[in-house]
Amino acid sequence: MNTMAMNNIPLLTPKARHFIGKVARSRPGDLPGMIYRRAIEAISKAPAGMGRTTFGEVVFDVDLTLHAIARKYYFRTHEMVLERIFRDHLETGRIFVDIGANMGYWSAFCANLVGRAGEVHAFEPAPPFFASVERLARANPGHRIVAKNMALGAGEATLDMAVVAPRPENFANFDTNIGSSSLLPGFLDHARELVETISVPVTSFDSYVARAGLDLDRVGLIKIDVEGFESFVFDGMAETLGGGGRRIPILCEVLSDPARDPLLDGAAIVRRLQRLGYRCLDATTLAPVVPSAMAFEENILCV
């Protein structure tokens, strides 16, 4: 990575500024600590290749050559506004489910929270990023980190996935980055020059629960970050969510632009979860979500 490209990496992406703005309005006491951590990141030097960082006793090896966002993983400043959600819902012995794990940042963060008595089940279908999740599992043999090279959706299938592959020319692009890969048909048509199409195996969460014998009573949190494929993931959770048992907390990044694609309908997802008895909250402010006022990208906590 050349010096010019490194100098063009923003300290705060537009997405980060959006959520930091929410923090400033709703949690001003948290803001100084976040700014301090960003400042330390800005003045610090990261390794040129593979760097090791830690969450408690959990080690996380980060390949910083993949994309500039990996620097935030290395310095542990990625989406800091969400950290309290994970801390509030996970403790020793709990199970964390990471649907759309990408490089495994939140899997590593939460493996430390649930400890050696807990479990992390991480799903990432794109091979370049699954390698990082698999490396996390190998590096922490005392923790139960189950790395699955597959996607979750409505049912058993093999589907085409548009993957934003790591490339030098896209290294500092935060608009369409390595976290933008999607199974939603046409989602990345505007960035075809950055995308490689691969076939990936898909199963439903309900099927995985049955096959793996997952104890739903121990699941403290399910995180979903699947770039527009959310409705299909929820289709595959019908038994889990509608079975009359405990409502498992869900942290979901919801993308909403129904004019572009009827499947990108965040309000419909919120209403669907509300019908199942969930309260849907803005994950940053913890205020109730107003479906008609949802931005294109919102993190919602459903409890």
The predicted model scores a pTM of: 0.93
CA dist., res. 40 & res. 141, Å (int): 31
Between the alpha carbon of residue 73 and those of residues 51, 66, 132, 152, 293, the distances in Å are 10, 12, 12, 24, 31
251 SS3 class: strand
Contact 303, 278 (CB under 8 A): yes
CA dist., res. 57 & res. 55, Å (int): 6
CA dist., res. 79 & res. 299, Å (int): 11
Q: Count up the domains in the chain and report the number.
A: 1
* pLDDT for 7: 40
**Half-sphere exposure for 122 (CA within 13 Å, toward CB):** 29
Range of the domain at 93: 3-302
Q: Quote the tokens at residue 140.
A: 């922490």
Instruction: Annotate 188-226 with b (16+ C-beta within 10 A) or e (fewer).
Output: beeeeebbeebebebbbbbebbeeeebeeeebbbbbbbb
CA dist., res. 303 & res. 297, Å (int): 19
CA dist., res. 200 & res. 203, Å (int): 10
Q: Residues 109-125: pLDDT tens digits?
A: 999 999 999 999 999 99
Q: Residues 83-142: pLDDT tens digits?
A: 999 999 999 999 999 999 999 999 999 999 999 999 999 999 999 999 999 999 999 999
Q: CATH code at 31?
A: 3.40.50.150
* pLDDT for 8: 41
CA dist., res. 133 & res. 179, Å (int): 14
CA dist., res. 24 & res. 19, Å (int): 9
pLDDT in tens, the chain (303 residues): 433 333 444 556 666 677 777 888 888 888 999 999 999 999 999 999 999 999 999 999 999 999 999 999 999 999 999 999 999 999 999 999 999 999 999 999 999 999 999 999 999 999 999 999 999 999 999 999 999 999 999 999 999 999 998 999 999 999 999 999 999 999 999 999 999 999 999 999 999 999 999 999 999 999 999 999 999 999 999 999 998 888 999 999 999 999 999 999 999 999 999 999 999 999 999 999 999 999 999 999 999
Closest listed residue to residue 291, CA positions, set 282, 261, 85, 283: 282
